[in-house]
């Protein structure tokens, strides 16, 4: 094996065998990094408070302006990068070279933006087949409905959808659908009635569900 002199510490060392050792100039990885680091331009010192994770004790900056990450056994160079979400600058090392966001919250925002349908519709844990019940009324998932455009609402009352199908057009904002028997979840076409304007409370006497076949509780008395 051929001997050589380290270009940094000037100590003699034994080169690797074969062609790999012909170009070997340093006795160790530490000497190689120290030599190349010394040839780099000096950068301006940065205030750690300007960086999101600058208060992390594992990151330090030397007199040449180079940031270092101190691992369990050795240090490695660190760099400064701007967050793709909030724009704030943060430090990252070779162990986080793929990190493009400064924090977990920014990472989640970036993920949600890249996957807008990740937790919507049938991908959501709260998905119940596209139906919801609110105050006794049934609502159907219809994000393409005209009443859902321009807002975050994606559900439309089922009785309104049934009425629109009956009359062959969309309902206007001043049109209401009345449940004849008073049961808000009973959206059979024969149980629905279209009203213009706000409908009053209660039911007509003849529409009230009778307690029994011979019930006369709601019939007028003379």
Residue 11 lies in a domain: yes
Task: Provide the pLDDT for residue 17.
Answer: 82
Q: Quote the number of domains for the chain.
A: 3
Residues of the chain with pLDDT under 70: 1, 119-121, 198-222
Task: Find, among 69, 91, 70, 89, the residue nearest to 79 by Cα.
Answer: 91
Residue 98 lies in a domain: yes
Task: Provide the pLDDT for residue 206.
Answer: 64
54 & 32 share domain? no
Residue 144 lies in a domain: yes
Task: Provide the pLDDT for residue 16.
Answer: 83
Residue 206 lies in a domain: no
Task: Provide the pLDDT for residue 193.
Answer: 92
Residue 102 lies in a domain: yes
For residue 76, the enclosing domain spans 48-114
The C-alpha angle 63, 67, 70, rounded to 5 degrees, equals 110
pTM of the model: 0.46
φ and ψ at 142, to 5 degrees? -140, 70
Residue 159: count of CB within 10 angstroms of its CB: 23
Token readout for 205 is: 């006497």
């Amino acid at each position: 094996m051929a001997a050589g002199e380290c270009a940094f510490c000037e100590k003699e060392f034994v080169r690797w065998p074969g062609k790999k050792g012909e170009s070997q100039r340093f006795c160790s990885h530490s000497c190689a990094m120290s030599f190349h680091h010394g040839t780099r331009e000096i950068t301006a010192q940065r205030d750690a408070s300007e960086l999101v994770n600058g208060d992390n004790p594992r990151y330090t900056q030397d007199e040449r302006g180079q940031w270092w990450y101190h691992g369990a056994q050795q240090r490695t160079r660190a760099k400064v990068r701007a967050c793709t979400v909030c724009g704030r600058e943060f430090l990252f090392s070779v162990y986080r070279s793929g990190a493009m966001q400064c924090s977990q919250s920014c990472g989640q925002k970036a993920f949600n933006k890249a996957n807008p349908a990740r937790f919507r519709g049938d991908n959501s844990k709260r998905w119940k087949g596209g139906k919801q019940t609110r105050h006794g009324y049934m609502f159907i998932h219809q994000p393409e409905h005209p009443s859902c455009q321009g807002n975050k609402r994606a559900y439309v009352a089922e009785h309104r959808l049934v009425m629109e199908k009956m009359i062959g057009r969309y309902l206007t904002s001043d049109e209401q659908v009345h449940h004849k028997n008073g049961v808000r979840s009973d959206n059979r076409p024969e149980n629905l009635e279209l009203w213009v304007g706000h409908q009053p409370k209660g039911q007509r006497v003849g529409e009230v569900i009778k307690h029994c076949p011979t019930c006369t509780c709601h019939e007028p008395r003379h």
